[in-house]
Amino acid sequence: MRQAGRSLPEYRALRAGTGMLQACLDPDLTCEITMQPVRRHGVDAAILFSDIVVPLYVAGVGVDIVPGTGPVVGHPVRTAAEVDRLPRLDIEQVTPVTDAIALLLSELGETPLIGFAGAPFTLASYLIEGGPSRNHERTKALMRSAPEVWHALLGRLADITSTFLQAQVAAGVDAVQLFDSWAGALSERDYREFVLPHSAAVLGRLADAGVPRIHFGVGTGELLGAMAEAGADVVGVDWRIPLDVAARRAGGTHPVQGNLDPAVLFADFGSVESEVRRIVAEGRRTPGHVFNLGHGVLPETDPDVVTRVVELVHDQPV
């Protein structure tokens, strides 16, 4: 479960006074934060504590994560010259992350570790808009008005993302997740023309890495087929469509991951339980199902409810 830490008092205590990027680049802290939800909830896999802008930051892009706002980029990237000036990621620059992975592998023992990176489209939106955007108007304008600049930018971001994920694989992660937070803002037509080739480049370069590739977005009901075609082994699904419908849209052969609505965790536990059982049942009608939330854990979630959900899922017959 991504962002499980946000709801944990032990996470908030550990992060007090430490910036997000600083925490992502401190191997001991990253290891401890990654371990917290594993210890507390007994989940079957850990997901690396990181942020999608980490590879940009370590490569030298001026970006900071502002509490309450999100990633803010000092100099937005909107022209061919600005794309040219983007730094490339040297694998040595991600040593703090690979050091954290090394620590985690010994801490985790048999529990698998999932690596993590943001997809080119989502990274591009932050770079073009200069920060989080609700409507992505500058991003969508650039892709149409200057497709050569657009594809050059996404090509560079695909390089950075693949380097980052390859470093994580070399360090020993057991799976990788490519996270395209904003892809759901696009029609399938635009996704296929402007985004899919670059996400496919990232996933393609990991085809021989020997680890499953999870491809995830939110509000992507129309894009599941295209996201599977991009080279995913597992397709993430939010809560808007049933898992069996999602699996058919993804081509009928891909395992799926999801799809409990994180907001359901705020209801009485009887309601949570019936949703969990429904999802497990629908997951049985797919080529394979990794139970998860359909999006990150919301900050005000009661951690005890998360623990009970994990227990409930473990109690279901396989």
Catalytically active residues are 2, 6, 15, 51, 126
284 scored as a contact of a copy of itself (CB under 8 A): no
Q: How far is the CB of 112 from a copy of itself (least distance, A)?
A: 28
Q: How far is CA 291 from CA 18, 137, 251, 303, in A?
A: 32, 34, 19, 17
Rounded CA-CA distance 27/120 in Å is 25
Rounded CA-CA distance 162/154 in Å is 12
Total residues at the site for a copy of itself (CB under 8 A)? Answer: 31
Instruction: Report the site for a copy of itself in 192-231 (rule: CB under 8 A).
Output: 219, 221-222
Q: Output 140 or 213, the one with its CB closest to a copy of itself.
A: 140
Instruction: Report the site for a copy of itself in 135-194 (rule: CB under 8 A).
Output: 135-141, 144-145, 184, 186-189
- Residue 132 tokens, joined: 């989080």
Q: How far is the CB of 264 from a copy of itself (least distance, A)?
A: 7
75 scored as a contact of a copy of itself (CB under 8 A): no
Contact 18, 30 (CB under 8 A): no
44 scored as a contact of a copy of itself (CB under 8 A): no
Residue 299, H or E segment: none
Can you say how many angstroms the Cα of residue 106 is from the centroid of all Cα atoms in its chain? 23
Count of Cβ atoms closer than 10 Å to residue 123 Cβ: 29
107 scored as a contact of a copy of itself (CB under 8 A): no
- Residue 13 tokens, joined: 């205590």
Q: Which one of residues 27, 120, 130, 262 is an interface residue with a copy of itself (CB under 8 A)?
A: 262
- Which residue ranges make up the site for a copy of itself (CB under 8 A)? 135-141, 144-145, 184, 186-189, 219, 221-222, 239-242, 261-264, 266-268, 271, 298, 300
